[in-house]
Structure 1
């Protein structure tokens, strides 16, 4: 895999200096690209040049670079307009082959090129599987014999934090945040050997694993496992973690409270962990969380099971997770669908004969026992019919002759699902703020 340096030059006449990186020093040169080739064993140099910069420096640079290094010049405009800025970005991205090991040098970049290089690095990693090995800047100061090369690679890592933070805020998934924390702690011990008493990260990795476990349970709709995952997170959420984040993972410090607030609302307090009603109420809170995050598939899957759980409790079946108990309720719900078009329980119209009242009473006698727990049996039947159809459509990946559209599924979840459940089960959908849920 070729190691490529992407760099640029302006039209300035550069002064010779000795560039150094850590304990390594390069030969004296006016071009930082030459120093980077020596310090990092570069195989190919891609140089972005305006027409004027090419005329000023290209020949001299070619002569001073090591003979084994492949040299490529790419023409760019000056970036005076938005269109020219995007043209520079296109040239930058198109200049790099897939699966390349890439270093960026922004020492002599001008105008918007440093920003474009940073954004290009983020895109190349994802789109072309490019391995970004460094972003560097030669900190030249007039009159100094030696010039340090500054490692700006953490700026690229900051983009990782930005992406991971956006994913957490929009979807609730902390998988990428957990991976970043794991990498921060691993990199620290691989690159440094702290002395006795020196601060070191010891909690970031375990906290990252905890939020990854929570994300997995959320994504796969595992409300039971989620509670154990949340208890683990609570044990990790300490002042020591916050202090450690401030030292070794500053972006996490900005998100730590948000992570804890988002997840703690889904946790059952220890004293209610074995209470079936508290469990089902917390499952509804998780359902609301799915709806707020627009996680349609998870909301449909959980809502279908939640209706069964709620009716099990209404029937006095505290073991609502047992298959036998759920089958009893599911059978009764299925029988309601057959009757859902009948105007059950409606009051008689003016002048209606007494025989109509008798007929309605007879109809009510044939309703399953679960009908006694809701105020509107037809609404329950309609909701169960929708949930059954939508759940099957989602679970079977549209493998039927007349699949539902995604817009219809999303509209049902965002507009109708929660109000219907709240109307049918007011006691089990009442969410109270739990003061112990805040960590």
Structure 2
């Protein structure tokens, strides 16, 4: 289990004493934001403290010194007075800020982070490019060392005025707030989640982030009912988004229409909300809608469009599987066969293969000769539209058997092959869709 560790920076300024405040609590009287953050964020247990400082800053503020007649308490002495149990480490850093120095700073900070640490990051006395480098390190460490961000904070001392003015204030008026910037850092999470969704269609990160926001809002007693309702609806939306994506990824083709319908309904409820509870998600609503705008109320064409969705997101195996099976489903829909009946679907598969390969009747190996004959009669006018089906079936078998077959197709050939199959079978889906609509109109007029 990782540590709870405070990372901070020490500068050259003659820091003035004050009380730092956070969420109604006050720190001890101190010159150093580091002791205040430790006190106010340590919770039930101690934190390790790592303070980065140049050689000059370490000599000036790391230890006690005199400024004229005034004795200035150093950082180490301040911790010994306020939190003697704290494990404090001063790490020397360069004062240069060129590209090479920034990379060395990156390594310097990363080397002080351990696997699984929860990091509390104080940016009060970081300067120039340091906050940018440190934020990159934090994000990098989260992936490489599985760390978590406890808080990112800033001690707003300048709210009290200029140091010369603060000197004139009595201690009870020297109250400087600590500003929590953690929510802004979460934009990094949202950025990763949005990027993953746009590239792959995978909404799992977005769903997890929204669930976390939902939990935090409901735990916060100050959250308004409007805020809670909106976050709840957003959470339901991303859950549904994640569910819709999983249905496609796992080739649950007969569920796609229903899940897409639920998604659009939930999106409508979110759009009607009056506030913006999770700002990074709101601009995504249009993007989400566009992702599934291709789907309408035509189940046959939707089953073909689902293949397009898979191809667009690099899901080649799913695309091949659904293209073959959805072509069979389209025939079943038009002929009124049970979409989930294994025997009926098997007969459609057999009929297509017999039709395309002109297999003599005496060589048929089918369950129901009569039904297969009926299906072949129905499909005969569409033989040209189905000519790609045999190749498609071969490619699906190849990829599903992991290439453990004689003369397997090269990996780089699958995507263009799947694209070609998708395009060539499009006319067949369109014809089946038109037939199904005609039959539906006939039933309604009967």
- The two structures have a TM-score, normalised by structure 1, of 0.79
Residues 19 and 176, structure 2, Cα contact 8 Å, conserved in 1: yes
The equivalent position to 1:206 in structure 2, one of 203, 224, 236, is 236
Secondary structure (helix, strand or coil) at the match of 1:250 reads coil
Q: Distance in 1 between matches of 2:109 and 2:36?
A: 22
Q: Once the 2 structures are TM-superposed, how far is the Cα of residue 262 of structure 1 from its aligned partner? A: 1.8
Structure 1 residue 390, shift from structure 2 partner: 2.4
The corresponding residue for 2:60 is 56
Q: Distance in 2 between matches of 1:106 and 1:399?
A: 56
Q: Residues 12-411 of structure 1 correspond to what in structure 2 (within 5 A)?
A: 12-41=13-42, 42-59=46-63, 60-65=74-79, 66-78=83-95, 80-141=97-158, 142=162, 143=165, 145-194=174-223, 199-201=227-229, 202-238=232-268, 241-243=271-273, 246-268=275-297, 278-312=298-332, 316-335=335-354, 369=377, 372-374=380-382, 376=384, 380-381=386-387, 383-400=388-405, 402-411=407-416
Inter-partner Cα distance in structure 1 for 2:285 and 2:146: 30
Distance 1:111 1:310, change over 3 A: same
Equivalent residues of 1:10, 1:53 under 8 A apart: yes
Tell me if structure 2 keeps the 8 A contact 1:43–1:68: no
**Partners of 2:272 and 2:280 in 1: CA distance:** 11
Stretch moving more, 53-62 or 32-41: 53-62
Gaps of 5+ in 2: 64-73, 167-173, 360-374, 435-446
Is the 8 Å Cα contact of residues 247 and 253 (structure 2) preserved in structure 1? Answer: yes
Matched, 1:427 2:431: yes
Q: Structure 1 residues 212, 114: closer, same or farther in 2, change over 3 A?
A: same
User: In structure 2, how many angstroms separate the alpha carbons of the residues matched to 1:186 and 1:407?
Assistant: 44
Distance 2:86 2:277 in 1: 37
Residue deviations 1:334-359 (CA, integer Å, cap 9, x gap):
4467569xxxxxxxxxxxxxxxxxxx
Whether the 8 Å contact between 2:304 and 2:429 is mirrored in structure 1 is no
Contact 1:204–1:241 under 8 Å retained in 2:
no
Residue range with higher mean Cα deviation, 325-334 or 233-242: 233-242
Deviation string 1:354-382 (CA, Å, 9 cap, x unpaired) is xxxxxxxxxxxxx96476233637xx44x
Structure-1 separation of matches of 2:391 and 2:101 = 53
Q: How big is the shift at 1:62?
A: 2.1
Partners in 1 of 2:376 and 2:236 — Cα distance? 50
Deviates more, 1:233-242 or 1:66-75: 233-242
For residues 215 and 371 of structure 1, do their structure 2 counterparts lie closer, same or farther at Cα, with a shift above 3 Å needed?
closer
| Superposed CA RMSD | 2.9
1:148-196 deviation digits (Å, cap 9, x = unpaired): 100011012211111111111112222222222222121011122446x
Counterpart-to-counterpart distance in 1, 2:96 and 2:247: 48
Do the aligned partners of 1:317 and 1:325 also contact (CA within 8 Å) in 2?
no
Aligned length: 389
Q: d(CA) in 1 for partners of 2:204 and 2:381? A: 40
Q: Secondary structure at the match of 2:8?
A: strand
Partner SS state of residue 121, structure 1 = helix
Change (3 A) 1:105 1:403: farther
Distance 1:398 1:83 in 2: 47
Q: CA deviation at 1:321?
A: 4.2
- Please list every run of 5 or more consecutive structure 1 residues that lacks an aligned counterpart in the other structure: 269-277, 341-366, 431-439
Between the aligned partners of 1:242 and 1:401, the Cα distance in structure 2 is: 57
Residue 77 of structure 1: how far off its partner (Å): 3.1
Q: Does the aligned pair in 1 maintain the 2:234–2:270 contact within 8 Å?
A: no
